Amino acid sequence: MKVFIYNIFIAQIRGLPREAGRGRDRWAARRGVVQQSRNTINLNSSARIPGINLIIDFSSHIIPPAADEIFKHSWKHAEGQDDPEFRLKIMDRYGIGMQVVHLSAAHLYGLDARGAERACRISNDYVAKIVSMHPDRFAGCGILSILDVGSALDELDRVVKDLGFRCITIGTHQRDIGLDSEELHRLYGRIASYNVPVFLHPVNWDGYPLASEGNGVHAMSTFGWPFDTSLAIWRMIAGGIFDKFPGLRIITHHLGGMLPFYRMRAEFRFNRYYGGGSRRTFMDYLKRVYADTAVDGGSVADLMTAYQLFGPKRIVFGSDWPYIDDAMSIGDNLAAIRSAPLPDEEKEMILHGNAEELLGFQPRD
């Protein structure tokens, strides 16, 4: 069944079969599929990678207008980002076949349980509307608030069963609730039963005024967020979350935060404090953790550092658009992947293969 669904997805996105006898690749018209130019993927020269015919952006955010009125904190973003037609133009400009669309959990910062629940529901409904308009170009990733686990469970059931979303987004924390909290065990169990991956988005944290986003130096989103991502993964591992729920798959934002750069320190200290007994190694636990390529542009050095930790099977292309200019967040990002000293088959994994597996379009090994 999964193979069948995967084949349908690839046929819709790629428009197979190709027409023969042309000077350049062109996708053939498809019977039974609405023929629109926006559904055709033509990689331009700046994005073309030999052998790569599909790109999935796993980290494309959206800010629904109705929910924007609820947020206490917001960030500059591209005008028109809530318009699916505008998004398609951006996607086609860079050869993006599909966006995984979700609200950034950073917007939930400062909201109480009721406000966060309302923002999540409005955002999920808006994403569902966009996905229904262009199901071959957008995939939904439902956002959940962890302030009220009962409400989170209800919303999880709704976005997976009713809306058909293929992944879940949560924050790295909310109001000092860490991801190793025992009250979240019911949520993790339900997520694991649905076999959907979890995208972690870092969130502002309080208690250190020098790092506050509002003091004019913008240190929080620059350095505080990578720290918070690393802390969340550390607490999940140290707190035994992956032992209790071995089926969980976590995608970290911004190339895994600090993790690729502090691998030896993390391994040493994990072994010192938690090693022995039935516990696995730190690196074993990290096999359940993925990273996206969203680092505000393109850096081969950063990508290859993350590659040393995550390998080719646990990195997904992600842009962080619309918060960063598309020329940087998408164009430069793709250019870094294209120029990285990696074989084409591994670039394919990063650009679409790993995302297809995570989203359930491709059978797992």
User: Would residue 128 count as lying in a domain?
Assistant: yes
User: Would residue 207 count as lying in a domain?
Assistant: yes
User: Would residue 114 count as lying in a domain?
Assistant: yes
User: Would residue 222 count as lying in a domain?
Assistant: yes
Q: Which residue has the higher pLDDT, 222 or 363?
A: 222
Residues 6+ apart with CB under 8 A from 140: 100, 101, 102, 124, 127, 128, 131, 159, 163, 164, 165, 166
User: Would residue 177 count as lying in a domain?
Assistant: yes
Q: How confident is the model at residue 218 (pLDDT cuts 50, 70, 90)?
A: confident
Q: Which residue has the higher pLDDT, 304 or 36?
A: 304
Instruction: Indicate if the pLDDT at residue 18 is higher than 50.
Output: no
The answer to whether 43 touches 53, Cβ cutoff 8 Å, is yes
Count of CB atoms situated within 10 Å of the CB of 344? 11
Tell me, what's the pLDDT at 113? 94
Instruction: Indicate if the pLDDT at residue 12 is higher than 50.
Output: no
Mean pLDDT within 330-352: 97
Q: How many domains does the chain divide into?
A: 1
Average pLDDT, the chain: 83
User: Would residue 364 count as lying in a domain?
Assistant: no
CATH (domain of 175): 3.20.20.140
Q: pTM for this structure?
A: 0.84
User: Would residue 363 count as lying in a domain?
Assistant: no
Of 81, 99, 97, 117, whose CA–CA distance to 39 is shortest? Answer: 97
Of 45, 10, 3, whose CA–CA distance to 24 is shortest? Answer: 45
Q: How confident is the model at residue 24 (pLDDT cuts 50, 70, 90)?
A: very low
The residue range of the domain holding 147 is 2-358
Over the stretch 229-283, which tens digit does the pLDDT of each residue have? Answer: 999 999 999 999 999 999 999 999 999 999 999 999 999 999 999 987 778 999 9
Tell me, what's the pLDDT at 211? 87
User: Would residue 181 count as lying in a domain?
Assistant: yes
